[in-house]
Structure 1
Amino acid sequence: MTDREEEILQKIRENPMISQNELADMLNITRSSIAVHISNLMKKGYIKGKGYILKENPYICVIGGANIDIQGFPKEKLNPNDSNPGNLKISLGGVGRNIAENLVKLSQNTKLITVLGDDIYGKKILEHSLNISLDINDSLILKNKNTSTYLSILDETGDMYVAISAMDIFDELHIEFMHKKMKYINGADITVIDTNLPKKTIEYILKTGNSKFYLDTVSVSKAKKIKDLIGYFHTIKPNKLEAETLSEISINNESDLDRNAEYFFNKGVKEVFITLGKDGVYYNNKKEKGIFKIKEQKVVNATGAGDAFMAALIYSTINNFSIKEKLSFSLAASILTMQSSDTINPNFNFDNIRKIEKEL
């Protein structure tokens, strides 16, 4: 928002019925200039429509995947190419949806834009979203389509061994549909995009939108979609392999991490977090950088830990944490998630994250 737009917005806050001529006289500019500024404020979402109805209740917009997770847990050491005794768990998932639910659990007003089939799984996601007060009203619901499904097999340590994703339905999130949702995207304080979306749709959102964009790369293969668009994101959180894919710079030491960050900064990124597995997380915002390491943690289920990290990162950004505070809080959120067999820990909340953070 420009200084002039902020000035106009403040006058409208003080008097929502003020006319454009009155604004022009107060600010000593032409009425036509006022009209242009108000049009821009409407496009950015700060004014909802005619009559100067201002945006209320700041919110976060998440655009990405919602699906059903089916997870297999072996009872003993996992043996490839064999039938393994174990347990199955079915739960709601999807990178975008997981991030959105975790944000709701952190008491953040959150809108999720995704695509669902009209099958039993899609209805389950809609019902659950309503129950937790996650706004999913602007998502696309398709008849005679199956909701995205993610099947994963974990090893005996709780880490993913292999997974299959049936997510063709995300190809239906066309530019034409997203065009109708831009006012909600532009009105958000932060917009998270995961790479389950088609590349052309991601490109349209980034080049048309005015929000502060955060990236969740999802996977190495899907990260390739945004390789040429990385500079449109304010904050990115790739893992080591995803960062190497985006920058084409191999990472073997901290110096290589610095080179990766510099590559992203030169493209336009403002904050970089590169997750390194058991070796911690690298962070850099041009002013501060380093590797935050933690002691080895007991893992029940690693699925969803990255989504919790992203949700906590957004929460801490909105609440003006320093970069080290963001990292500490976000790592604690991911650890809390890994302590549960569920993709989203039922006990995920601010107080429990803080408890874990004190132990880091």
Structure 2
Amino acid sequence: MTEREREILSLILNNPMISQNEIADLLGISRSGVAAHIFNLTKKGYIEGRGYIIKESDFVSIIGGINMDILGISLDSLILNNSNPGKISFALGGAGRNISLGLTKLNVPNYFISVHGDDLNGDKFKQDSQKNGMNIQYVKELPNERTSTYLYIDDQKGNRAVGIDDMDIYEKINSEFLKDKIDIINNSRYCIIDTNLTTEAIDWIYEHCKVPIFVKTVSENKNYKLLSQLNKVNTLITTPNELKGIIRVLTDSELSLNKSLDLLLNNGVGNILVYSPDDGLYFKNNEELFHIHKKSDKAINKTGASASLTSALVWALTKNFTWKDSLHYAYAAAAISIESPFPISEDLSTDTLVTTHTLLFG
């Protein structure tokens, strides 16, 4: 989809009965030019029928975080209360932003809904989004606010030692902020949220969202927020440690992986993925159970692997692949991610995804 086609599709999403003359006036182009773009959008399958009916499978909505990630990696075993030689890097992240970027790289149209501050990191996010072709028309810049920042330290093996997040800005993603975006959300194929959102925001989405909800967990101390209506969660993507945290809140005890998955399924979750680069991918729903684990010797960065996995999973599901095939592609995307220094690999594309999938699974 070209940038002009994205603009026209956005106007149609907001007003499916808008005329070609009105679109031409708003964009400052000719009516015949609008007609040509609409013809192309119809030919490509993005819209169909009279009244510019948007196809159900056309796009995905994502509601979640934008972070500036500051990563310190020790060159040796970490020594507490001491200076540790290592490397420090800065990268844009946030589960929501990473998933949106991953979907964009896989040519899945998506609308990212979030907030950032009017600071240097907010400017970097806007510039990076423009460079990567992300649709951020529903991302709001908030005056006198700081863009969310996540500072963390990993040991030389890439294991997280400690992290500190400055994410008060997400309190601005509230019911008032979300209510005028509900039509976009409910016209999407799937709505993906992350647990950076407040309890209020997640509960509001549970009550008002009419499409399947995918939840991507982000931190052990935030995931309790998704528990109020687990029956509204179509698909949960989490990690082994975060799963243990969820189960402790539900039962005040620790359960085996299989019993943990069964507990969530019994509470109404439709599908559950548990992933880590070390343990592989576990999946369970009421009909199927899978475990995929193929060790990589090239892993250099575990941050963003779950977001890449989520993006590829949704890509595959929008193509109506089976769960088994979708999980294989999701695992392939995670494998691409962990071999990149960035949360979402610059090399991620449908071509590299298919190639990696073939190498891993034949």
Aligned partner letter, 1:209? C
In structure 1, the residue matched to 2:6 is none
Q: What is the correspondence of 1:103-252 to structure 2 with a 5 Å cutoff? A: 103-247=103-247, 248=250
1:200-220: CA deviation from partner (whole Å, max 9, x where unpaired): 111111111112110001111
Q: What RMSD, in angstroms, separates the aligned Cα atoms of the two structures?
A: 2.3
Percent of aligned positions that are identical: 31
Which ranges in structure 1 are unaligned for 5 or more consecutive residues?
1-15, 18-46
Equivalent pair of 1:104/1:110 in contact (CA under 8 Å): yes
Tell me the CA shift for residue 296 of structure 1: 4.5
Q: Is the 8 A contact 1:70 1:91 kept in 2?
A: yes
* Alpha-carbon contact 1:117-1:143 (below 8 Å) kept: yes
Tell me, yes or no, if structure 1 residue 345 matches structure 2 residue 345: yes
Tell me the CA shift for residue 287 of structure 1: 1.9
**1:283 CA displacement:** 1.1
The answer to whether the 8 A contact 2:203-2:228 is kept is no
Cα displacement string for residues 316-355 of structure 1 (whole angstroms, at most 9, x for unaligned residues)? 1111222221222111111111111222211112222233
Give the equivalent residue in structure 2 for 1:55. 54
Structure 1, 287-296 or 336-345: larger mean CA deviation: 287-296
Structure 1 position 277, deviation (Å): 4.9
Paired with 1:257 and 1:72, the residues of 2 have a C-alpha distance of: 31
1:262: how far off? 3.0
TM-score (norm 2): 0.80
Mapped to 2, the partners of 1:212 and 1:89 lie a distance apart of 36
Aligned counterparts of 1:280 and 1:242: Cα–Cα separation in 2: 15
CA-CA distance at 1:187 after TM superposition: 1.0
Report which stretch shifted further, 164-173 or 272-281: 272-281
SS at match of 1:140: strand
**Residue 96 of structure 1 contacts residue 194 of structure 1 at CA under 8 Å; is this kept in 2?**
yes
Please state how far the C-alpha of 1:52 moved relative to its aligned partner: 4.1
Q: What is the alpha-carbon distance in structure 1 between the residues aligned to residue 110 and residue 153 of structure 2?
A: 30
* Pairing 1:214-293 to 2, within 5 Å after superposition: 214-247=214-247, 248=250, 256-275=256-275, 277-293=277-293
CA contact (8 A) 1:309 1:333 kept: yes
Paired AA for residue 100 in structure 1: S
Total equivalences in the alignment? 311
Tell me the residue number matched to 1:27: none
Match of 1:318 in 2: 318
Q: Which residue of 2 aligns with 1:91?
A: 91
1:36-55 mapped onto 2 (5 Å cutoff): 52-55=51-54
CA gap 1:277/1:75 in 2 versus in 1, 3 angstroms? closer
8 Å CA contact retained: 2:61, 2:110:
yes
Are 1:297 and 1:335, in contact at CA under 8 Å, matched by a contact in 2? no
Change (3 A) 1:229 1:310: same
C-alpha contact (below 8 Å) 2:75/2:155 kept by paired residues: no
- Could you list the per-position Cα deviations for residues 159-198 of structure 1 after superposition, in whole angstroms to 9, with x for gaps in the alignment? 3222111111101111111111111111111110001111
Aligned residue for 2:61, secondary structure, equals strand
Would the aligned equivalents of 2:277 and 2:302 in 1 still touch at CA under 8 Å? Answer: no
Q: How much has 1:285 moved relative to structure 2?
A: 2.5
2:334 corresponding residue in structure 1: 334
Q: Counterpart of 2:307 in 1: which secondary structure?
A: helix
- Cα deviations across residues 230-266 of structure 1 (Å, max 9, x unaligned)? 21111111222333333446666xxx43433333333
Read off the aligned partner of 2:89 and give its amino acid letter.
K
2: distance between equivalents of 1:200 and 1:110?
Answer: 24
Structure 2 stretches lacking a partner, 5+ long: 1-15, 18-46
CA distance in 2, matches of 1:225, 1:94: 17
Q: Secondary structure of the equivalent of 1:156?
A: coil
C-alpha separation in 1, matches of 2:254 and 2:266: 18
Q: Bigger radius of gyration, 1 or 2?
A: 1
